Amino acid sequence: MSASDDQADVERVVAGDISAFEGIVRRWQTPLVNLAYRFCHDRGRSEEMAQEAFLRAYRALAQWRKDAVFSTWLFALATNVYRSELRRIPAHTVALDEVTEPADTRASDGGLEDQDRDLAIRRAVFALPPKYREAVILFYFHEMDVTSAAQSLSLPEGTVKARLFRGREILRGKLPQLLGVPRLKEAL
């Protein structure tokens, strides 16, 4: 993905060439759909949310200031859309204490099957309180970059770090139980 491609397409769209927006959609559809999926865990809804994000981006394209990276602007806008959408119609979540441990799905090496483990992790993240969940989702979505996560959430880096720390702390307490791994304190 090239920043100059984005800039050229944005300039064409702002000048009135709507078809140039297709280039932006093609380049950013996978990241935006994936980000939406991490927020709602529903394939159909993630596409609807990403479509709404693209539409909002089209409306606000003239407001993009070129001193900011296009992807940062787009992710911040999409994150806002997803957060509002989930406030309007919340995704089906369960409380963290209600996330069940998978039933006897131990593989021959004693651990859980990868698929079950991933599912348990996703459920645990999904059950976090929203402000911690958003920080965790965006931090790992941005490949563990706090600055990018903070920009997407329009929050100071310190706030994101604090939320991330608290979110991981909650997860660290819950994951061993979910994954059938004894806690370090208990093992000692």
Partner 1 sequence: MNDDEVDRMLSRDDEILASSGFVSRVMESVRQEALVPPPIPFPWKRVVPGLAIAGLALMTLLIALAVTTVRYAGAMTARVSGPFSGPFSMPSSLFHGGIESAVTWTALALAAALLSVKLSMGFASSSV
Q: Which amino acid is at 10?
A: V
Give the burial class of 152: count Cβ atoms within 10 A of its Cβ; 0-12 exposed, 13-18 middle, 19 or more buried: buried
55 binds partner 1 (CB under 8 A): yes
Alpha helices (H) in 64-145, listed in sequence order: 70-88, 114-126, 130-141
172 binds partner 1 (CB under 8 A): yes
Cα–Cα dist 37/169, whole Å = 23
Six token digits for residue 112: 């859980």
26 binds partner 1 (CB under 8 A): yes
Out of 34, 63, 84, 147, which residue is the one contacting partner 1 (CB under 8 A)? 34
Q: How far is the CB of 175 from partner 1 (least distance, A)?
A: 6
Out of 125, 138, 150, 155, which residue is the one contacting partner 1 (CB under 8 A)? 125
Cα–Cα dist 163/133, whole Å = 9
Is residue 41 within 8 A of residue 54, CB to CB? The reply is no
Q: How far is the CB of 21 from partner 1 (least distance, A)?
A: 6
Q: Which stretch binds partner 1 (CB under 8 A): 86-94, 99-107, 139-147, 151-159?
A: 139-147
Six token digits for residue 135: 């920080």
Binding site for partner 1 (CB under 8 A): 18-19, 21-22, 25-26, 29-30, 33-34, 37-38, 43, 46-47, 50-51, 54-55, 58-59, 117-118, 121-122, 125, 136, 140, 143-144, 168, 171-172, 175-176, 181, 183-184
